[in-house]
Amino acid sequence: MSKIIQYHNVSIHQSEQIVLRDVNLEIGEGEFVYLLGRVGSGKSSFMKTMYGELPIASGEAHILDYDLAKLRRKQVPYLRRKLGVVFQDFQLLTDRNVEENLLFVLRATGWRDKNAMKSHVMDVLDQVGMANKAYKMPYQLSGGEQQRVVIARALLNMPSLILADEPTGNLDHETGKEIMELLYSISKAGITIVMSTHNIIWPEQYPGRKLNFAGGLITEE
C-alpha cells in the first residue's frame, strides 16, 4: 500500500503554544482514519497542517509528495487541488446554485472547457446522489443535502485524499449515517479519508483506524 501521508517526529504549534508533539504516523491509500479526542486536543490543528493552513514547527512531514517542512505559500493552492476538504459548516456560496458552486471551483483551478466542466459537475453530483438538485440554491437544501454537495465539491479534482472535519456534526443521526455511508463508499473506491469526529458510534459502525488525541500526543488504538 502506497503511503500518502508520512509524519516523523513532528511538532505542531498554534499561536506560539505547542499543540502536538512527537507525531509519528503513516497513512496509506484507501484507508479510513478517525481522529478522536476532545475539543482543543489538536485534531483541527493536525488537519490544518495537511492542507497547508498551519506550518509544522519541527520534524518531517510529507503529504501527496509535498514536503510540508519546505512548503511555500505559492505551492499551497497546488497541494489543495490534490485533496478535498469537507467542513462541518458546509461553506457553500449562498448567492449561487449547486451547479454554479461547483463550476466556481473548477474555474478557480484552471478548467476552461465549459462543456467538459458541466459534464464533470453532473458526474460528481450523480456520485453523491444530488444530480437532480443541481439548480437548487443552498438554502433550498436540507443539511444532509448540503453536505452531499460539499462532498461533491471535494471530489471535483479527483483527489487521492479527503479531509473531513466533523462532517456529521450539524446533522441528525439518520442524516449523519447517510453521509457516513457515502464517505465509506468513497474510501472503498480507493480514496483515503481522514475524518475528525466526536461521535463514538461511527468507528464502531464503520470500522477504520482510530487515532486518539490527548495531552499533546497522538496514540493509535
Per-residue pLDDT for the chain (221 aa), expressed as one digit of tens each? Answer: 689 999 999 999 988 889 999 999 999 999 999 999 998 899 999 999 999 999 999 999 999 989 999 999 999 988 988 899 897 777 899 999 999 999 999 998 888 999 999 999 999 999 999 999 999 999 999 999 999 999 999 999 889 999 999 999 888 899 999 999 999 999 999 999 999 998 899 999 999 999 999 999 999 98
- Asked if residue 124 and residue 60 are part of one domain, the reply reads no
Q: How many CB atoms lie within 10 A of CB 169?
A: 15
Residue 40: give the domain boundaries. Answer: 1-82+159-221
Domain's final residue, options 118, 137, 158: 158
- Asked if residue 72 and residue 2 are part of one domain, the reply reads yes
- Asked if residue 120 and residue 74 are part of one domain, the reply reads no
Q: Dihedral angle at the C-alpha atoms of 148, 94, 165, 162, nearest 10 degrees?
A: 60
Count how many Cα atoms sit within 13 Å of the Cα of residue 107 in the half-sphere of its side chain: 8
In contact, 173 and 181? CB cutoff 8 Å:
no
C-alpha–C-alpha distance, residues 121 and 114, integer Å: 11
Domain's final residue, options 122, 137, 158: 158
* Structural domains counted in the chain: 2
Q: What is the pTM of this model?
A: 0.91
What CATH number does the domain containing 26 carry?
3.40.50.300
Kindly report, residue by residue over 32-59, the tens digit of the pLDDT. Answer: 999 999 988 999 999 999 999 999 999 9
